[in-house]
Structures are given as structure tokens and as C-alpha cells.
Amino acid sequence: MGSQGPGSQIKMPISASSRERCISAIERSLDGLLALGILVMAVSMAWQVIGRYAFGRAPGWSEELCRFLMLWVTMLGSAAVLRRGGHLTVTSLLDVLPARARVIMLALRDALMVGSCGLLAWQGWLFSELNSAQDSAAMEIPMTWPYAAIPVGSGFILLMVIAARLLGTPFLMQTEDGEGVL
């Protein structure tokens, strides 16, 4: 058992490829959940339209279900597209910065995202707990379920930002000349 010198590397218990596979599996799972959520929303809305115009009475639960699913799809979808560069970005400032300043600016962006998502997850959890005694009007489920989308989605966004930095595969943005940046 030798001592580790200043130049030796610390071995991680999980290899980078295993971490990448794990994060990719989470992204694929999110994609599946999103597809299911959008499908249920579409069927629910179709059922509401059919109920209203064919039977003269729309089910009360379908609109509420769509509203709750929209919240979940929005929050989980934000996490799902993060590493693929799926968010709208304005790179005007980044385009004119030298490479070193660009790296610093992107690290600052990531730090702000981590702080914002951490705060949103924490406050979202508190808000979800605060409304746990309240039931929804039509489906009569605890309001904890729709409000839980905020801390859960924020947690997944936080995970994706941290994973992108730790894995060395930060999410990409395309500049005007087609160059990918962190």
C-alpha cells in the first residue's frame, strides 16, 4: 500500500463510460415518460372534445389532467433536452469572447443554474408540502402531485447540469459558424 503522490490520480468507483451510460439511461427514461405524458394529454383532450360535442357533456377530469401533465412535461422536458442543447440560447456575447473567457462565462452560467435549480427544488418541495392537504377540484387528488413536478423537474435539471460537467460532456450550443461550444 503505497502513498499517493501529488501527480497520482484518484480512481473513481464508477468509470466514466458507466456514468455516461447511467445518465443516458436517465435521459432515455425521461424521453419515455415525456412521450407517455404527451400521449395521455392528447387522448384526454380528444376525449374532452368528443364528450363535449358528441355527448353534450365534457368530463371534468380531462382538462385538469392535461393541466397537471403539462406542468410535468414542461419540467421533465427541460431536463431531458439540456445535454443535447435543446434549449433556446442567445450566444451573441459568447461569440465575441476569447476561448478562456467563454469557458469562464459558461462555468458561471452552470453555477447559476445549479444555484437556481437547487433553490427551486427546495422551495418547490416546501410549496408541495404546504398544499398537501388541498385536493384538486375535478380529480380530487392531493395537490402535492401536480406541485411535485417543480422539485422533481428541478432536481433532474440539476442532475443533468452536474452530470454534464462531471462527465466532461457539457451540453452543446451551436454558434453561427457551426462550431459547438460548451
What is the distance between the alpha carbons of residues 168 and 154, in angstroms, rounded to a whole number?
A: 21
Number of domains present in the structure of the chain: 1
In a domain, 2, yes or no: no
In a domain, 131, yes or no: yes
Using a pLDDT cut of 90, give the percent of the chain over it. Answer: 61
Q: Which residue has the higher pLDDT, 92 or 176?
A: 92
In a domain, 3, yes or no: no
pLDDT beyond 70 at 3: no
In a domain, 58, yes or no: yes
Q: Which residue has the higher pLDDT, 135 or 12?
A: 135
In a domain, 7, yes or no: no
- Structural domain containing residue 58: 17-177
pLDDT beyond 70 at 170: no
The answer to whether 167 and 23 have CB atoms below 8 angstroms apart is yes
pLDDT category of residue 177 using cuts at 50, 70 and 90 = low
Q: Which element (helix H / strand E) includes 46?
A: helix 16-54
Q: What is the pLDDT of residue 123?
A: 97
Half-sphere exposure of 7 (CA within 13 A, CB side): 0
In a domain, 66, yes or no: yes
pLDDT beyond 90 at 95: no
pLDDT beyond 80 at 15: no
pLDDT category of residue 128 using cuts at 50, 70 and 90 = very high
pLDDT category of residue 76 using cuts at 50, 70 and 90 = very high
In a domain, 12, yes or no: no
In a domain, 30, yes or no: yes
